[in-house]
Amino acid sequence: SAVISQKPSRDICQRGTSLTIQCQVDSQVTMMFWYRQQPGQSLTLIATANQGSEATYESGFVIDKFPISRPNLTFSTLTVSNMSPEDSSIYLCSVEDYGELFFGSGTQLSVL
């Protein structure tokens, strides 16, 4: 099974700033996904990141707000830009490996 390292594990940020979240996988994977989990809520897919192409964003999420990089098959970053308190959530990286979806432990973001 894929092992995912996500960092930072948590951060407290000021509004108007940006935070970049890193996701490292211990094996090469084709598809990586970024999810948002708002307080007490379910998981919502932000975008799918494939190596060598632009990320595909879900309805309600845009590249200017959540730029994603996928430089190789083991690494991806998600940036939360120009943050506001409404961006306070857990952000989760996940990968598909042998037909199963594995998740990182998440980044708990609080925006003041």
Give me the residues that bind another protein (CB under 8 A), please: 4, 9, 31, 33, 41-45, 48, 58-59, 92, 94, 96, 99-106, 108
Helix count (H) and strand count (E) of the chain?
A: 0, 11
Compute the least distance from the CB of residue 71 to another protein, in Å. 22
- CB of residue 50 vs another protein: minimum separation in angstroms? 10
- State in angstroms the smallest separation of the CB of 24 from another protein: 14
Burial class (CB in 10 A: 0-12, 13-18, 19+), 106: buried
Tell me, what amino acid is at 98?
Answer: Y
